[in-house]
Structure 1
Amino acid sequence: MFHYDFRPRGVCSRAIHVDLTNDGATIEGVSFEGGCNGNLKAIGRLVKGQPVDQVASTLEGNTCGPRPTSCADQLSRALREAQSAARG
């Protein structure tokens, strides 16, 4: 398992913790610090076991109110960075 910590920008959550398979292809777990607790726990459950590329593509560009980003959009960025780091 590969663990990656991401500091989101422009959203309420303070950190996103990502666990991927060693090859960086599949999400093993996601958790958030701060933000909308129930919604972010649900996102973590929904993405577990899913391919990184599929989830990142689906969530990319999602916004929150007037903000140009959201916790979901920040997760897509976290997943891409984690995947890149896992693959070295």
Structure 2
Amino acid sequence: MKKIYNTTGTCARQILLDINDDKTVNSVEFVGGCNGNLQGIAALVKGKKIDDVISSLKGIDCNFKGTSCPDQLAKALEEVKEEL
């Protein structure tokens, strides 16, 4: 399943997701944001179960914004989970 998630409250504007039928992350690409850090996050979550990624990243805060790019990824994956 491919999904485009529009972020809120972060430097990254969108997250492009590709999720396998077995609920593992095939690929993640952030549009905007801190390129090196976000490439690192994408590499670390590849092949992981979406529930594991959500539990690891949900609630991470960036500079007291109430969210972060990792938190937005968790929210995007929660939406995907509902659609699967």
TM normalised by structure 2 equals 0.95
Does residue 29 of structure 2 align to residue 31 of structure 1?
Answer: yes
Tell me, what secondary structure is at the counterpart of 2:72?
Answer: helix
Q: In the TM superposition, what is the alpha-carbon distance from 1:66 to its structure 2 partner? A: 1.8
- Runs of 4+ in structure 1 displaced over 3 angstroms? none
Q: In the TM superposition, what is the alpha-carbon distance from 1:84 to its structure 2 partner? A: 1.6
- Mapped to 2, the partners of 1:70 and 1:8 lie a distance apart of 9
Identity of aligned residues (%): 43
TM-align CA RMSD? 0.8
Query: Is residue 20–residue 83 contact of structure 1 (8 Å, CA) maintained in 2?
Result: no
Count matched residues.
84
Deviations 1:4-30 (A, max 9, x none): 11001011101001110124x111110
Structure 2: which 5+ residue stretches go unaligned?
Answer: none
Structure 1: which 5+ residue stretches go unaligned?
Answer: none
**Higher relative contact order at CA 8 Å, sep ≥6: structure 1 or structure 2?**
1
TM normalised by structure 1 equals 0.91
